[in-house]
Each structure stands twice: as C-alpha cells, then as structure tokens.
Amino acid sequence: MHSYFLLLFILSTAAFGQSDSAHKPITGFVETGLSISTPSQTPFWLRAKQYGIVPDQNSFDQLRAGFYRNYSQPVRKLDWGLGVEAVVNIGQSRRFIIPEFYVKGRLGVLELMAGRRRKVVGLADTLLGVGPMAWSGNALPIPEIQISLPDYVPLGFTKGLIAFKGFYSHGWFDNRGPVKGSFLHQKAFYGRFGKPNWSLKLYAGFNHQVQWGGRSDVFTSDLVIKNGRFPTSLADYFDIISGTSLGAKEDTDTSRISKGDRENRIGNHLGTIDLGAEWTGKSFTVWVYRQSYYEDGSLFYLINIADGLNGIRIRQSGSETRGFQIRELVAEFLYTLSQGGPTFGNLPAERGADNYFNHTQYIDGWSYGGRGIGTPFIGYYGESRSELPTGVKASYTNGDYHLFTNNNRVRVLHMGMAGTVGTRFTFRMFCSLSDNLGSYAIAFPKNTRQLSTLLSVSAPLKGKPDWIARVTIAVDRGKLLPNSTGIYFSLRKTWGFAQARFANTSTSGF
C-alpha cells in the first residue's frame, strides 16, 4: 500500500511548479475524496461515466493524481505529449487503478497515440448527458494504438466549408472472462458542413466497433468456436474491418470458422450513425443530435430505427451574473425498446432480437473490466435488484455463465443542468427517469421504473483558486436498483490548468 502513496506523491511533485500552462505545457492534479452511502451500493450517478474508477460498493476513500505533458502553444507541426493518472480506492477492499497511461505524437494534422486514454465516441453531450450509446466513458479505457485526425481538417478546395476528422485503432481486451485474448477494432469518421465562423453548422458520421479474436475453453460446441480459437488471420481481419457477411461467401474455411460465424460476421459488431446541428447566436449556442444504434442488419432494413439517443443542449455564452444562473441545459431521450422486434430470421422484416450489448460468443458482452462500455443504462446484470431475473444463460458452455446484461430494453428521459451561484460556486444536476423492460428473452415485471439523481457543488478555496472543494449527492429510488443515497466529498489541487469557471463543462463528443 505504501507504494501507491509513493506513486501519487511522485506524480504530484512532478506536476508542482509548472503553473504557467501558456508557456510550459505541463499540468497535473492531486485529489482526495471520501464517499459514504446507504445501504452499501454506490448510487448510479456517482459511478456511471466515471471510466471505471468508482467502486460499486460504498463506502470508500479515494486518492487520485495525474500528470500530463500537453502539446505546446502556439501549435507546432511536430510535437509530443503524455499522460498518466493513478487512483487508489480504499474500502471493503483496496484497489490500485491506472485509468490513463499513454504517449502521443503529432505531425501536422495527424496524431499517433499508444496506451490507455480517456475518450468518448459519437455526437452527443459528454458531461451533462447520458453519454454516447456505443462508447460513453463508463468503463476503464482500453489499451490501444490509435492513429487519428483529432480536429476537424478542412478540405482545401471547399475553403473551409467541408471538414472532417476520424480515427482508426487496434486495442486489447482484458483476460478476466470466459474469452481471453480478444481484440478491439475501432474506427470513426465524422464530417462538418459549415465554416467555423458560421452560425449554423451541420455534422454527420459513424463509428464502428468490433470485438474479435481470442480463445476459450468454456464452449462445448463447434457451432460457436472451432479448435478453441476465434478467427484471426489477415483475411479474417479484412472481413472484420469491412463488416463482411460470411453468408454471402463461398470459400469460407470450415475447418477453423464456426457455423455461427459462417452464417453471420466474424466478431461482435456494433456502433452508431450520428447526425447533429449547432446554432451559435449572440448569447447562446444550441446543439441538437441523434444517434441511431446498430448491432446487425436491423438498422440497414430500418426495422430498429426507433432506437437511439436524441438530445438538445443549450449553452449560454454571455457574461456571468452574481446571482443564480443556469449556464447550460441538456435534455435527452434514450430508447432501445425496438431492437427490430422479438424475432430473428432471414427475411428483412425478421432481422430483430438484437439483444444489445450481449453476444453468444463473447459472453462478457460489450464490457471491459466488469463495466459496460456503452450507455450506462444498459448495465451488468449484477447491478440490478436481486429479485429481478438475472438474464439469459450462455449456450454451449461447460459452466454456469450469464450474458452481460439482463436489461437492454430501456426508455430513459434525462435532464442535465450546470450553472453558477454567485462568483464562486458552480453546480451540476442530473435527473434520469427510466422504464426498464428487461430483454425479449426474459422480461422484467411491469412498471420496473427507476429514478436516479445527482447534485454536485464545487468552489475554489478562498484566496486559493487552484484548490477546488466539491460535494456531490446522488440518490437512487425505484424498482431496478437498490434504493440508496450517497455523498462524495473531495478536495483537488491543480497545477497548470487554466482557471476557467467551466473548464469541465460539456463537449460534443468525438
């Protein structure tokens, strides 16, 4: 345990003294916190979208420290950076976590990154909203190598009217589940129509994630896996990144590719197709967005088009007042009840039963480190009340395995708000009301409704703007999660960060 505190001390002292971020791109922070809740389960909004660093069980102490070498300002054509964050949780058990550890390099508009780095993927609000559907920041970051255009790059002949950005990455899942050594393929491409100084800008794009490869000895049938391994050849990789359906191919190698893959696609594919629009006025901006979710052919045939995330964000850009002021407001509606209907077949109208975030081969589903990677409202079955069904058991296995989630048919109305009180205090508020139907395979009882709320207030210490104190209260009431109330106290010291009132407010995702 002493080594944990030593690492935190090294990180904090490394950051100390680098306070002028305009000239020295070194930043850092140290934070200590205490969380208490009744009963023992941490409330939803204290742990959701926290990159897997908050324990499921309360109460606990938390120590965090981070150190970052950012790109220089003004921008250089060739530059480099790095980041590392360490977290120690001390509660029912002690756990040491490294949510970030990466190096990055930039050459012109291109960036190469290797390691574990926080990110969200998709056009959606990232702080006050529920998070993008496919990649929300709910789980510990996955180690990866990524090449990207991190900022919108204008097409020269359009004189800035059209710009685009995107990334391509390869990652590694952990080895804690029934399938070990599996990989992540991920890519995204987004375009913007409208010059940066225009009042109206339009956005569109997509993201594509694939969980593939790996080995397992828990399956008992070659309908699921051949020779204990999933396909990983170079030809398989091209089928994976292109999303090719093997059902249309005649030369599939039946000696190493299972019947399940031959009739479908290799790997667990999912993602979103996104649309957005932003209006910038004299004193406010309005951002509206829509994410349509896919896991198989149901979106292609538009039979699950009702499913998706719809949102609007209104942000004030005028000067702050000395009284109570709402600076930012987000309203969202998340819907996943359709899934193309309860039937899966060969006809276009039967391409349903998508069973979001679950997978027959990758039993852990769309998760990493025990947390869902996508929207936190489709969670691990162990988070729900004990009297609810635990969901579907995995087929063709030699053990008692359940699929990841028992509740992927949800309807959520969410409100998020951020603002100021006077010249020192800032606040955030969440209120989420969800209807939870379970899954098509095993339905929940009627009226399994859940209310989850959060209020967080922060302020710098008097005369010490780089010391931030925060109090956060979260409450769960309903029939999905155990009723709980939690409070989190924290004190953070920062070095090198710009002292903006809303340095941590919402962005629009990737």
The pLDDT tens digits for 339-370 are 988 777 676 666 767 899 999 999 999 999 99
Q: What's residue 384's pLDDT?
A: 94
Q: What's residue 347's pLDDT?
A: 67
Q: Are 44 and 384 in contact (CB under 8 A)?
A: no
How many CB atoms are closer than 10 A to CB 155?
A: 12
Of the pLDDT bands very low, low, confident and very high (cuts 50, 70, 90), residue 306 is very high
Q: Are 393 and 293 in contact (CB under 8 A)?
A: no
User: What single-letter amino acid sits at 31?
Assistant: E
Please say if the pLDDT value at position 105 is more than 80.
yes
Please say if the pLDDT value at position 74 is more than 50.
yes
- Which residues, in sequence order, are CB contacts of 54 under 8 Å at separation 6+? 35, 42, 46, 47, 62, 89
- Find the mean pLDDT for residues 146-167: 95
Tokens of 250: 């005649």
Map tokens 């020269």 to a residue. Answer: 156
- Which residues, in sequence order, are CB contacts of 371 under 8 Å at separation 6+? 52, 138, 139, 140, 380
- DSSP class of 157: G
Q: What's residue 350's pLDDT?
A: 63
Q: Where exactly are the structural domains of the chain?
A: 2-230+267-495
Q: Mean pLDDT in the chain?
A: 89
Q: What is the rounded radius of gyration, in angstroms, for the C-alpha atoms of the chain?
A: 23
Q: What's residue 21's pLDDT?
A: 39
Please say if the pLDDT value at position 20 is more than 50.
no
Position with higher pLDDT, 100 vs 397: 100
Of the pLDDT bands very low, low, confident and very high (cuts 50, 70, 90), residue 502 is very low
Any idea which of 10-24, 72-86, 226-240, 256-270 has the lowest mean pLDDT?
A: 10-24
| CA atoms within a 13 Å half-sphere pointing along the CA-CB vector of 479 | 13
For the segment(s) 2-230+267-495, the CATH number from 2.40.160.130, 3.30.360.10, 3.40.50.2300, 2.60.120.10 is 2.40.160.130
Any idea which of 216-220, 235-239, 364-368, 427-431 has the lowest mean pLDDT?
A: 216-220
Q: What's residue 457's pLDDT?
A: 97
Please say if the pLDDT value at position 67 is more than 60.
yes
Please say if the pLDDT value at position 498 is more than 60.
no
Tokens of 231: 């396909």
Q: Distance between CA 100 and CA 87 in Å, rounded?
A: 10
Any idea which of 166-170, 237-241, 244-248 has the lowest mean pLDDT?
A: 244-248
User: What single-letter amino acid sits at 208?
Assistant: H
Per residue in 254-296, pLDDT (tens digit) is 888 888 888 889 999 999 999 999 999 999 999 999 999 999 7
CA 291 to chain centre: 14
Any idea which of 115-129, 175-189, 296-310 has the lowest mean pLDDT?
A: 296-310
Any idea which of 265-269, 302-306, 492-496 has the lowest mean pLDDT?
A: 302-306
Of the pLDDT bands very low, low, confident and very high (cuts 50, 70, 90), residue 404 is very high
How many CB atoms are closer than 10 A to CB 469?
A: 14
Tokens of 113: 């990154």
Any idea which of 56-65, 192-201, 292-301 has the lowest mean pLDDT?
A: 292-301
In 137-230, beta strands by DSSP E: 144-154, 162-172, 183-193, 200-212
How many angstroms separate the Cα of 307 from the Cα of each of 412, 429, 438, 504?
11, 26, 15, 29
Q: What's residue 509's pLDDT?
A: 63
Q: Which pTM value belongs to this model?
A: 0.91
Please say if the pLDDT value at position 222 is more than 90.
no
How many angstroms separate the Cα of 485 from the Cα of each of 39, 127, 423?
7, 21, 29
